[in-house]
């Protein structure tokens, strides 16, 4: 703690004192006499200043979050006798989005730990993507067995964030991505298609009004992100049977206006994802069309205070990103949603994140976009811990307070001050996917750690992709680095246990994937005996990975959702058992052949000698082609 701290805002002083223990480690603050002082808005001036002369320090701040960023700066430079620095925000609202709806629901305590670190970084917005994981009164099957938040929990999270000057924004769905609700028979009347609500229906509007009320009553923010993305096939289901064939743009805009009206009645403003508006309006029928000119009569049908969200997680071309933002700005107020690339993986792919988010955030600042956030999506199982996103959060924060470009490699001391963790630990965890043979020309970075883990040991759909790349050596080295990191980090390295265990699994599994079927076809019995022994050791390592992954899951969030991963691990262990048993019988001569190993292997994710061909791979397309 500080030797003394003086300020008029007792609530803020209380929040300073509740900062977690890592912030106070090494006693750096004990000799400092700190004064905190709010300052009025000044468009041309700094949003925060930190001045230190010996043991006397003063932090001036415009908003509460600026104070906490100032504290992070003070800690970073605590060894300096004198400090005189000021910073200005170039992106007024900057934050992250956590996907709490794709299998994993982080606990309120876990989110509070994120918020502590976000405050020190200077992030002022946390978006919770919640399809059905929030309590809605009178709807017991809404979010049924999904581990969602009660209204009390959401209010508590909002209260905690508000102390730092961070606002919680609800991101819900009011049209598409509603399959988890529409699967239940009591919601059949709301269904246009298996995933899309029935537009133009009074019953649908009443349901949406209840959703807006549920989140609006829990959170201070009056902004709600209402989704409406990826509504492909809109109006082609029950809607068409009831209303006949209509252009999807008309249906979409009518629904947008109805949602806007419902929100306004509850004192809410809306933001919506723009992909379908562009897809319907573009002559190319594609989202990424920076030359799309929306007809003026269409523009007038978009509510003037509804913000468009340009989401783009993979584009690296600065001119495309700049053009897309300009095109959005020509239609209305714009928000940028960018990548923290965790989708369908066990790690955050940082090199790809820097290459995409970097030029996009530069374009955001160039065009004066008022809000930007990085997205931790968890499609296909939520295997990646949100904790692994911390360096990406720092990157977004540094862009918001820096007029020019940000060098990720220069953030390490800043990151340590804000988290108590070393950025290098996270870079080593990213080696799960950042293999040395990535096809950088492919739009989507490959996710080999996912398909290598889950693919069948006998049917090996990606065997040909892996062969000859030496990934076993890559994963051995990655495991060695993470082992050293974990020894250095101690308990603070809890988030490294799963990546380390996975690297140790992939060291063996990548070697088997690249050789087992070839050893069989060449009848190399000595090598096959070694493969059988490797399968035995692999089973031991997968059991360790499952145990550590389960411990991490239960410690950080709801137990619901783990069942899906338990089934994946259970299936993998069963297939490893079958593979080893059949291989040993073949070697003993009690089994005449293993037909799965006779089948020729074909590449799926290979481009020449590199990995990365098309979009990232998902579980059900990686495991087996068998169809039940």
Q: Which two tokens stand for residue 489?
A: 């980090």
Looking at the chain, how many residues does it have? 628
Q: Are 188 and 141 in contact (CB under 8 A)?
A: no
Q: Which two tokens stand for residue 43?
A: 């468009």
Angle, alpha carbons 96-97-102 (nearest 5°): 150
Determine the Cα–Cα distance for residues 377 and 383; give it in Å rounded to an integer.
11
Tokens 């897309």, residue located: 324
pLDDT of residue 628: 62
Determine the Cα–Cα distance for residues 64 and 122; give it in Å rounded to an integer.
9
* Contacts of residue 267, Cβ cutoff 8 Å, sequence gap at least 6: 216, 222
Q: Are 417 and 406 in contact (CB under 8 A)?
A: no
CA 614 to chain CA centroid, Å, is 20
pLDDT of residue 158: 98
pLDDT of residue 44: 85
Determine the Cα–Cα distance for residues 498 and 495; give it in Å rounded to an integer.
7
How many Cβ atoms sit within 10 Å of the Cβ of residue 298? Answer: 16
CA 19 to chain CA centroid, Å, is 25
Residue 210's H or E segment, with its range, is helix 202-216
Look up the pTM and report it: 0.97
Q: Are 130 and 116 in contact (CB under 8 A)?
A: no
Determine the Cα–Cα distance for residues 127 and 573; give it in Å rounded to an integer.
37
Q: Rounded to the nearest 5°, which phi and psi values hold at 275?
A: -60, -40
How many Cβ atoms sit within 10 Å of the Cβ of residue 562? Answer: 19
How many Cβ atoms sit within 10 Å of the Cβ of residue 247? Answer: 11
- Which of these, 12, 14, 20, lies nearest to 117 by C-alpha position? 20
Sheet of strand 48-53: strand arrangement: 4-6, 33-38, 56-61, 48-53, 82-87
Q: Dump the DSSP string for 85-141.
A: EEE--SSSEEEEEEE-SSS--B-HHHHHHHHHHHHHHT--EEEEE-SS-B--TT-TT
Q: What domains does the chain contain, in order, with CATH numbers?
A: 4-87 (3.30.160.230), 93-421 (3.20.20.80), 430-437+445-621 (1.20.120.670)
Bridge partners of 94, per DSSP, are 372
Write the CA distances from 391 to 107, 419, 447, 513, integer angstroms: 21, 9, 19, 32
Determine the Cα–Cα distance for residues 398 and 414; give it in Å rounded to an integer.
9
Q: Are 46 and 86 in contact (CB under 8 A)?
A: yes
Q: Rounded to the nearest 5°, which phi and psi values hold at 51?
A: -125, 130
Residue 404's H or E segment, with its range, is none
Residues of the chain predicted below pLDDT 50:
none
């Amino acid at each position: 703690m500080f030797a003394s701290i003086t300020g008029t805002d007792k609530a803020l002083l209380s929040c300073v004192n509740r900062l977690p223990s890592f912030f106070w480690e090494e006693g750096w603050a004990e000799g400092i006499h700190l004064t905190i002082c709010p300052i009025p808005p000044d468009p041309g001036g700094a949003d925060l200043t930190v001045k230190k002369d010996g043991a006397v320090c003063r932090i001036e701040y415009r908003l509460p979050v600026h104070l906490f960023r100032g504290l992070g700066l003070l800690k970073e430079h605590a060894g300096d006798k004198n400090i005189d620095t000021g910073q200005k925000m170039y992106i007024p609202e900057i934050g992250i989005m956590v996907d709490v709806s794709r299998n994993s629901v982080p606990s309120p305590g876990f989110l509070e730990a994120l918020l502590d670190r976000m405050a020190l970084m200077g992030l002022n917005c946390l978006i919770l993507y919640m399809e059905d994981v929030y309590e809605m009164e009178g709807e017991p099957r809404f979010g049924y067995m999904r581990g969602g938040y009660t209204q009390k929990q959401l209010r508590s999270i909002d209260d905690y964030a508000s102390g730092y000057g961070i606002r919680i924004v609800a991101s819900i769905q009011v049209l598409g991505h509603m399959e988890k609700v529409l699967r239940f028979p009591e919601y059949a009347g709301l269904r246009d298609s298996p995933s899309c609500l029935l537009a133009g229906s009074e019953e649908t509007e009443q349901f949406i009004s209840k959703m807006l009320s549920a989140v609006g009553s829990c959170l201070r923010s009056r902004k709600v992100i209402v989704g409406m993305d990826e509504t492909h096939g809109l109006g082609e289901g029950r809607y068409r049977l009831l209303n006949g064939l209509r252009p999807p743009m008309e249906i979409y805009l009518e629904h947008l206006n109805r949602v806007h009206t419902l929100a306004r009645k509850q004192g809410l403003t809306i933001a919506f994802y723009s992909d379908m508006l562009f897809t319907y309006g573009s002559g190319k029928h594609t989202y990424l069309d920076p030359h799309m000119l929306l007809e003026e009569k269409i523009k007038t049908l978009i509510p003037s205070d509804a913000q468009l969200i340009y989401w783009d997680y993979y584009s690296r071309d600065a001119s495309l990103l700049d053009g897309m933002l300009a095109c959005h700005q020509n239609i209305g107020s714009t928000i940028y949603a960018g990548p923290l690339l965790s989708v369908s993986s066990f790690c955050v792919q940082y090199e790809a994140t820097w290459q995409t988010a970097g030029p996009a955030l530069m374009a955001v600042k160039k065009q004066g976009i008022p809000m930007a956030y990085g997205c931790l999506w968890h499609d296909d199982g939520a295997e990646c811990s949100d904790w692994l996103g911390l360096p990406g959060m720092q990157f977004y924060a540094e862009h918001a307070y820096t007029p020019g470009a940000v060098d990720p490699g220069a953030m390490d001391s800043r990151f340590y001050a804000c988290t108590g963790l070393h950025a290098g630990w996270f870079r080593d965890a990213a080696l799960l996917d950042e293999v040395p043979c990535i096809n950088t020309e492919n739009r989507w970075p490959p996710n080999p750690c996912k398909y290598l883990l889950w693919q069948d040991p006998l049917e090996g759909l990606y065997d040909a992709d892996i062969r000859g790349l030496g990934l076993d050596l890559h994963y051995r080295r990655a495991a060695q680095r993470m082992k050293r990191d974990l020894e250095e980090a101690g308990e603070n390295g809890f988030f490294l246990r799963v990546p380390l265990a996975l690297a140790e699994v992939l060291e063996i599994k990548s070697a088997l994937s690249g050789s087992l079927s070839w050893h069989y076809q060449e009848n190399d019995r000595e090598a096959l005996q070694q493969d059988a022994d490797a399968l035995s050791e692999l089973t031991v390592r997968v059991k360790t990975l499952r145990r550590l992954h389960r411990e991490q899951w239960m410690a950080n969030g709801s137990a619901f959702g783990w069942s899906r991963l338990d089934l994946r691990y259970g299936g993998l262990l069963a297939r490893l058992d079958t593979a080893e048993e059949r291989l040993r019988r073949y070697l003993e001569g009690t089994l005449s052949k293993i037909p799965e190993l006779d089948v020729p292997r074909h590449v799926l994710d290979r481009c020449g000698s590199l990995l990365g061909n098309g979009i990232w791979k998902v579980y059900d397309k990686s495991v087996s082609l068998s169809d039940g």
